[in-house]
Amino acid sequence: MEDAARLLQLVVNGAAAGCIYGLIALGFVLIYKATEMVNFAQGDIMMLGGFVAYSAIAHWGVNYWVGGLIAIAATAAFGYALDAIVLRRVIGQPQFAVVMLTLGLGFIFRAAAGITWGYDSVGFDTPFTNKTVKLGGLILGDDNLSIIAGTVLLCGVLYLFFAKTRLGVAMQASSQNQLAAYYMGIPVRNVFSMIWAISAGVAAVAGILLSPVSMIDVNMGFLGIKAFAAAVIGGFGSIPGSVIGGVFVGIVEQLAGYYLPAGFQEVTSNIVLLGMLFIRPQGLFAERMGKRV
């Protein structure tokens, strides 16, 4: 009984960490599906979102929810501008140029954040910090539960947006056939910039949700590497796949941290990724129909 409860606890904690990976992976996938660019600065955009929320909540003294919304909106606007001003220029260049550019942007963001907010870890009060819920024999942190709930909610909102709204369907259309989208009068470039905005906004949500669990600091963007594994496991191109891949990585990591010798926790995401590439290289949720060229 004790063991079962412990296992469940680990799974919940792992799922919470995995949701964060999943949200960052979601950002990777959204941008990749639309523009076929891989944004290696995704984790650093999450870091920026976290710092903006910290500024709003801890310095300007606004309420957690308002501060969160400000951070999401500001980061989304930043994402839009990033595409409109910088990334749009490298469309059509070799994939390698995009990789170098986004890696470089990540360095710039880390440096800029260090100069602006300092290199120390910071945190702010949230309604979920240091609170727990008792469920039977289980003790679950509100912070972890808020991450899971927030992720589920956000995925629901995104699903409705992409499936039901005109702009959401136009985003799908633009990523499926860019030329035809132009023929329909869809302003494809702006639509792509809006996808960058959504993906940056999602990253900001991840940063805010993560803040009660781990402090915000300049290097938190390196979580993006694990999220990248999650995206590949999910099939790199599948939105539900990216979140499920993230949760999978998170849970395996927690279990490995508890049951395996020290040091394994950090490498499990990559071991899982390698295993996945051997067994099912197309990922868990690869699109069944090929893209028509």
Residue numbers at the binding site for another protein (CB under 8 A): 166, 169-170, 172-173, 176-177, 179-188, 287, 289, 291-292
Residue (137 or 187) nearer to another protein, CB: 187
> Least CB distance from residue 38 to another protein, whole Å?
21
Which residue matches tokens 């260090």?
Answer: 114
For the record, the structure tokens of 154 come out as 């956000």
Residue (177 or 219) nearer to another protein, CB: 177
Residue (1 or 289) nearer to another protein, CB: 289
Phi-psi region at 12: left, alpha or beta (left = phi > 0; alpha = psi -120 to 50): alpha
> Least CB distance from residue 247 to another protein, whole Å?
24
Neighbours of 275 (CB within 10 A): 11
> Least CB distance from residue 175 to another protein, whole Å?
9
> Least CB distance from residue 8 to another protein, whole Å?
37
> Least CB distance from residue 183 to another protein, whole Å?
5
CA–CA separation, 41 and 134 (whole Å): 38
* Helix, strand, or coil (residue 93): coil
Residue (61 or 185) nearer to another protein, CB: 185
**Nearest-CA neighbor of 29 among 230, 270, 254?**
230
CA–CA separation, 257 and 262 (whole Å): 7
172, amino acid identity: Q
Residue (171 or 233) nearer to another protein, CB: 171
